[in-house]
Amino acid sequence: MWAYHSHVDNPTEFAAGLVGGIIVTGKGMTKSATDVRPKDVDREFFLMFAIMDENLSPFIGANIAANAPGANPEDPDFFESNLKHGINGLIFNNVPKLEMVQGERVRWYIFGMGDQNDVHTPHFHAQTVIDHGRRVDSILLIPAQWRVVDMIPDNVGTWALHCHINGHHRDGMFAEYTVKSNQPVATSSQQITPTVPPNGSASVVASLLLMALIVLLF
């Protein structure tokens, strides 16, 4: 896994979103000649943890004019409000749905970017991942560091995924991921037929239940 970003004016262009990831699959490890996804993986997700400083964005002037015409760029509170603690540039659980099925082989490509404030600890609720041979639920990232971790989810439900640094979590660096059951769901058209004990033993069962009830009463 590699990151791409511009070095013409790195801080400014990074703040504008000019950043992403490149996944290189090893020779002989692709699903086919035309499908370059890894053959030992069922599903892949890419996550970037970073504080995007929109004060540096070349679009800050246009954003102020369109959305906050009375804002003062020199106001410390306004400056702080433009520090977006995000995952893939999105904050407060706005990352598009991260969905998988119980028992699938899931690969997460995770990396950090930014400056000295961008030390992050991505944390998965309810599941674990394999990171360099260790089974963990949290990963440590610093800027320009990459992690490729694998998961086989076994807990069905919707779970939190966030940076475990309190201030980053508080300021919006969190998302959710959903693990769907691999069991078929019964439809309303499917009827459940009660099982009747063979050879008339239903009356025996009823008699035993009645005797148990009498014992409980007395």
Domains and CATH numbers, the chain: 2-180 (2.60.40.420)
CA distance 46 to 37: 13
> What is the mean predicted confidence (pLDDT) over 160-178?
98
The predicted-structure confidence for 89-115, as pLDDT tens digits, reads as follows 999 999 998 999 999 999 999 999 999
> What is the mean predicted confidence (pLDDT) over 36-47?
95
Return the bridge partners of 159, or none. Answer: 177
> pLDDT-derived band of residue 188, with 50, 70 and 90 as boundaries?
low
**Strand, coil or helix: 177:** strand
> What is the mean predicted confidence (pLDDT) over 162-177?
98
Given a cut of 80, is residue 202 above it in pLDDT?
Answer: no
11 vs 213 pLDDT, higher one: 11
CA distance 44 to 125: 18
> What is the mean predicted confidence (pLDDT) over 147-155?
97
> pLDDT-derived band of residue 197, with 50, 70 and 90 as boundaries?
low
Given a cut of 90, is residue 56 above it in pLDDT?
Answer: yes
Given a cut of 90, is residue 32 above it in pLDDT?
Answer: yes
167-171, 184-188, 196-200: least confidently modelled range: 196-200
- Please state, for a pLDDT cut of 70, what percent of the chain lies above it: 85
> pLDDT-derived band of residue 184, with 50, 70 and 90 as boundaries?
confident
49-63, 73-87, 117-131, 182-196: least confidently modelled range: 182-196
pLDDT computed for residue 165 by the predictor: 97
**3-class SS string, 35-77:** CCCECCCCEEEEEEEEEEEHHHCCCHHHHHHHHCCCCCCCCHH
Instruction: Write the burial class of residue 78 (CB in 10 Å: 0-12 exposed, 13-18 middle, 19+ buried).
Output: middle
Given a cut of 50, is residue 3 above it in pLDDT?
Answer: yes
pLDDT computed for residue 205 by the predictor: 46
Given a cut of 50, is residue 204 above it in pLDDT?
Answer: no
Listed in sequence order, the residues at least 6 apart from 104 whose beta carbon sits closer than 8 Å to its beta carbon are 42, 43, 152, 153
Residue 73 CA: distances (Å) to CA of 12, 48, 82, 89: 16, 27, 10, 21
> What is the mean predicted confidence (pLDDT) over 70-96?
96
Given a cut of 50, is residue 213 above it in pLDDT?
Answer: no
